[in-house]
Chain A
Amino acid sequence: MTVLLLVLAVCATLLAGVVLAAVLDRALPELAGTMTRQRIETEAPDRMNRDLAPAFYLALAAEGLSVVPFAPGLALIDSPVGVVIWGACEALTIIVVFLHGWSPNAPFPLIGAYRYAAIGLPVMLPSMFVLIAAALPAESLSLVAIVDSQREIWNVLRQPLGLPLFLVVALALTLRGPMDYADAADIAGGTSAEDSGAGRTLWQVARLAMLVSVSAVAATVFLGGPLGPVLPGPVWLWLKTAVLMAVLIWLGNRVARTTPSRMLTILWVVLLPLSFADLIISGVLAL
């Protein structure tokens, strides 16, 4: 019974979150607009991966959300290694975006795909370090335990570097604004350059679903997830997730995107050492 409710909660959160994200991003009419058009096929595409890439992206968003506790001690997949499961979702996102750029058999999508793979690796490393830092006070890789460890003080205050670094990761995972190296303007929309009709809509919906998922994980790891006074747990989680979604959409629309080679330098030289510092400070504090 509880499992059924949790499955329902995950699906409802994804669905409502996608609609909310589309409204916040003023993209809802546009999504409906692309739906009404035909899908054009490129020459000799990789049809299987073309169809599977958006489906996998959606599935990864759902999988990420499934390890998030909706109430203290209550997650659909209450895994002792929830952080690792989420880490796998992050890493597989790179592969899914690459396949999306690979499948149309066209130059601009392929450039976007390779760019994203190059950016993806140094983005994943800080992500793992800040998540492990958040797991240290909990002495567990379970997201349920990480929520419990924040009863006194949220991780956003205990580890102030964690959330800002994780937001950079979130922008990269959702192909948004300053970290959107896969679908950038200088390569005519990159991996999406050849998408048309329903396939285009599906990819955009999957991007928004990943936004919901990554925001929920950030809310859980850094903002205490379902913890909060008066209101029930799920409501707190939804509120915090919605706030983070709004922050990410705002950042995506307001912060400039630099060139890929410069971003690579910034990632390796600035953000990676910062995430190291976050891990070391959290480790010393947790001793």
Chain B
Amino acid sequence: MIRDTLAARAPAAVFAAIGPGRQADAERLFARRDMRRASTPRDASVLLVAGDIPAEASEALARVHDQIPPPRATVQWQGEDPDRIAARVAEALKDLRGTGTGEADRLPDEPPNEWKGIGPHGQGGKGMMGGTPYGRPMAMTGPDIRDGLQLDRYTARIGPFAPMLPPGLTLEVTLQGDVICDVSIDSPPFAQPADADAPDLCLARVLRLLGLDRAADRVLGGKRPGALWVRGAIPRGLGRIDGTDIRGRVAAWRKGEAAPLGPFDLPQLLTGAEWSEAMLILASLPPSALIRAARATEAA
């Protein structure tokens, strides 16, 4: 009883699948008090699909949908007023609490690949390592990019709806620990109009990665971030393009100025960085510059 009353007062935990042209609106929506952007589908009960998701990302969308614990609901957002969307999410949550059934899985619960009986233990790869049994990539030893010793390499594809990446961007990364030793772009970010480059949105993205969700909400509400050690927490020289690093770009956004960027090579910028540094670099690139760079890499 108390639990249900409290649960009804909780901000709606929503996992956002953001499509082309909807990034700015979606990010502003989550600065509201009654909405909370879940960092993983496991923490959400509503899937918010903002805009038209391109066909090539529809399977990924279905997978994200199935990762949300039942009871779950999907809300489509085609550009209505944020108040109406917040009301529709609240209504969907109320229905879920009332009926408790929600939507069924969209994909069959089966492995993406068949068992491939290669190698001495039948899993592919060499010895006890590597291969992709049932489509699950396993780690395989390879040279460490820092000291040349042999260390496990794990390759995974991340995106297009991973909350720490720009919407639409799918990266195939090879990790050793959390060091990126190889990265390629599977699909570039979805196209976004210039409103996604607004200084407050850019600053808020960096603040969220620094663990300052409330400061990010304050910035989007037009207030000062009210956070300590923002500049100092960003390593000096990280993500340097055209002579400005992340610190420089963040300083410009804090003054409400845009931070225009020339062309850059995205995979080169990310290779060799630790995962958290790479995510900071990506968050510090205005969407328009990032989309240009990703498309240039794809074309090359």
Contact = CB atoms under 8 A, between A and B. Distances in A.
Interface of A: 28-40, 43, 107, 111, 114-115, 177-178, 180, 184-189, 192-197, 200, 253-262
Nearest to A112: B178
Contacts of A262: 233, 235
B255 interface: no
Given A40-B42, A184-B276, A189-B40, A33 B71 contact: no
A40 B67 contact: yes
B67 to A, nearest CB: 7
B193 interface: no
B233 A37 contact: no
B300 interface: no
B228 to A, nearest CB: 5
B177 interface: yes
A258 B40 contact: no
Contact of B208 (A36, A115, A185): A185
A30 B36 contact: yes
A111 B156 CA distance: 13
B211 A259 contact: no
A114 to B, nearest CB: 7
B276 A186 contact: yes
B275 interface: yes
A40 B10 contact: no
B97 to A, nearest CB: 7
B232 interface: yes
A187 B97 CA distance: 30
Given A36-B97, A180-B211, A260-B276, 17 more contacts: A29-B6, A30-B11, A33-B7, A40-B42, A185-B213, A186-B209, A186-B280, A188-B163, A189-B39, A192-B43, A254-B227, A254-B228, A256-B210, A256-B227, A257-B210, A257-B211, A259-B277
Interface string B1-18: 011101101110100000
Contact of A188 (B164, B208, B227, B238): B164
Given A29-B10, A36-B7, A187-B164, A255 B43 contact: no
Interface of B: 2-4, 6-7, 9-11, 13, 36, 39-40, 42-43, 45, 67, 69-71, 97, 136, 154, 156, 162-164, 175, 177-178, 207-215, 226-230, 232-235, 238, 274-277, 279-280
Contacts of B276: 184, 186-187, 259-260
Given A36-B7, A185-B209, A188-B164, A256 B233 contact: yes
B178 A200 contact: no
Contacts of A177: 211
B250 to A, nearest CB: 11
Nearest to B215: A254
A33 B11 CA distance: 9
A38 B227 contact: no
